[in-house]
Amino acid sequence: MTAFSLEPAQLAWCAELRALAEHRLRPLAEKGEPGRVNRALVAELGTLGLLSRLFTSGALDLCLMRESLAHACTEAETALALQGLGAHPVHAHGTPAQRDRWLPRVSDGSAVAAFALSEPGAGSDAAALSLAARPDGPSGWRLTGEKCWISNAPDADFCTVFARTTPGAGARGVTAFLVPADRPGLTGGRLDMLSPHPIGTLRFDAVPVTADDVLGDPDGGFRVAMDTLNLFRPSVGAFAVGMARAALDATLEHTARRDAFGGRLKDLQSVAHQVAEMALRTEAARLMVYAAATAYDEGAADVPRRAAMAKLLATETAQYVVDRAVQLHGARALQRGHLLEHLYREVRAPRIYEGASEVQRGIIAKELYKTLEDR
């Protein structure tokens, strides 16, 4: 199989996922409360076996899941993705005890995970984080500080938390910790954000952690974070492609039916050309996402560059496609409850989280020049 085609079984699986999202997941999503974890939706993802696939499938399968779910139900896609983002460090870097305690509960949807990297003063610049992990006894620390813009906060049952264990060491002085929500001194609050999924803050007031809570190695947390982001960045692109394809499908149907200026909208060259451009960009983004995911699965050396390119192109493309779709639909697309009104709110955040578009361009340039230096 190449990165540019899918096997019939994969295409059938994607169709099945879209149907599940429409008929079983969307009704649960519609009953959820904006800004709060929809535990019924998470539990259904577990019942359907989709959460367990987060730990048994590769990057391409993750992209196919996210794209297919996003096409029919962005809330279901996001719930699945956040479980994976928060729990992947446990799966990839956790101890047997950590994995045994948490991964079965993440897989069946009974425990909600969060990935706590960003801070009020360190969003895209992950190496600049300042949440302090101060030594406490021979093998423990106390976490003091704040995390901000954390998806699933403050409702998550546990968080992967990145804290500074060695002051002044930049990326080399960060440690990843698995912190259960019931630790003393850990509190949080909700943020009222444009995106409808839950986002909040976490406050750490001398929260105790020990060597048993470390994910990976002490002072090796930046590697844990980057390993997770290199896997999930292409799938953020897949989420964006799913939204773009939903917007494109809606636009095709609307412009084929809508009467305007003595004919159908699709008969106007200016409209037809815009639809063609939307399709062109969406397909290019999809192919780049699949290529980046395949590179990850094959252990290629250029994964950071490919992952950054995929996220950058796909999220910027989705923003363009959804905006064009709104324009071609007119005022109806701005009504609350319209698919495109929903997508318009959803599509903006992926250009920022897991590394803003400007950060992705920086990664791409850095990797290109590193290749030049290695010749």
Please say whether the dihedral angle defined by the alpha carbons of residues 329, 285, 197 and 351, taken in this order, is positive or negative. negative
Q: Give dist(CA 101, CA 265) in Å, integer.
A: 56
User: CB neighbours (10 Å) of residue 49?
Assistant: 11
323 three-state secondary structure: helix
Identity of the amino acid at 243: M
User: Does the active-site annotation cover 354?
Assistant: yes
The answer to whether 28 and 41 are in contact (CB under 8 A) is yes
The answer to whether 111 and 158 are in contact (CB under 8 A) is yes
The answer to whether 71 and 241 are in contact (CB under 8 A) is no
Candidates 44, 354, 367, 373; catalytic one:
354
User: CB neighbours (10 Å) of residue 19?
Assistant: 12
- Token pair of 205, please? 């007031």
Report residue 183: phi and psi, to 5°.
Answer: -65, 135
* Three-state secondary structure string covering 24-66: HHHHHHHCCCCCCCCHHHHHHHHHCCCCHHHHCCCHHHHHHHH
> Hunting for tokens 């590769």 — which residue is that?
58
- Token pair of 21, please? 């999202």
Residues assigned a catalytic role: 354
